[in-house]
Amino acid sequence: MDPLALVLLVASLSCVACWLASLITKDTSWVDRLWSVVPVVYVWIFAAAGLVDGGDPARLLLMAALGTAWGVRLTFNFARKGGYTGMEDYRWAVLRARMKPWQFQIFNLFFIVLYQNALLVLITLPAMVAWQNPAPLNAWDVALALIFAAFLAGETVADQQQWSFQAAKRQAGGTLEPGFVTTGLWRFSRHPNFFFEQAQWWAFYAIGAGAAVASGLGLWGGALNATIVGPALLTLLFLGSTAFTEWITSSRYPRYREYRRTTSMLVPRPPRRAQAPRTA
């Protein structure tokens, strides 16, 4: 069976399962529970196809290993936050309250279920490019794999810092100034975990593009190919969800406005100087 057809079949079943589960349980976070799982399955489908074809599967196996490492780490972080115990993303409750029930169900079907499941396919399609272009592994692949691993480590550190802050906040009775984490990587970015998450999939795309280039394709169709739509749409999704998250956070914590002024939203960089208090 063609690996892309198999990936699309699994994705279709995931859509149906997520949609039906959201209607039955009135919980729209089922895609979140699959987010770190199905991309790993998709990448391994392409890797398995490469093994069956008898070509050089080294690059595909490398991509599958990187995707698996990403999935294991993200699944662990999601699980320890209670993501698999029926906890719905708090942002959906806020959005549901601002919509009529039928409007939210349309949003649920077309954005939460269909769009996000489609995106989980798109970000893994560089593995399809590598399957279609089974060139030998090279130094470019190794360098990109190390970059991917560095981004993975960065996201791990950022999530651990967030987890430690929230744990300290719970121990303090739910109140710990300023109410949100501002130390460690969070001093240089308001969402370092989001930055590193996106960066990993851009590195993943570059590995697939490298396979096309190594097979003789040039800039168009090689270094720049149609699968770039995956990381591009992922970045757009994060920009939108980050803006919505920050709107909620700003309404809860007055000091977040100053944090936004001094600290980069995504790309880590030195913080700007805080404004001095005005004097009469």
88: alpha, beta or left? (left if phi > 0; alpha if psi -120 to 50): beta
> Which residues is 224 bridged to in the sheet?
220
Categorize the per-residue pLDDT at 275 as very low, low, confident or very high, splitting at 50, 70 and 90.
low
| Phi/psi of residue 224, nearest 5 degrees | -115, 110
- Amino acid, single-letter form, for residue 177: E
- Residue 105 pLDDT greater than 60, yes or no: yes
The token pair that represents 124 in the structure block: 């893994």
Place of tokens 């987890």: 163
Closest to 59 (Cα-Cα) out of 149, 131, 150, 2: 131
The token pair that represents 256 in the structure block: 């977040």
Q: Say if residues 237 and 266 touch (Cβ distance below 8 Å).
A: no
Tens digit of each residue's pLDDT (9 = 90 or more) over 229-272: 999 999 999 999 999 989 989 988 989 999 999 999 999 999 98
Tens digit of each residue's pLDDT (9 = 90 or more) over 119-162: 999 999 999 999 999 989 999 999 999 999 999 999 999 999 99
- Between vectors from CA 43 to CA 199 and to CA 133, what angle results, nearest 5°? 90
Categorize the per-residue pLDDT at 276 as very low, low, confident or very high, splitting at 50, 70 and 90.
low
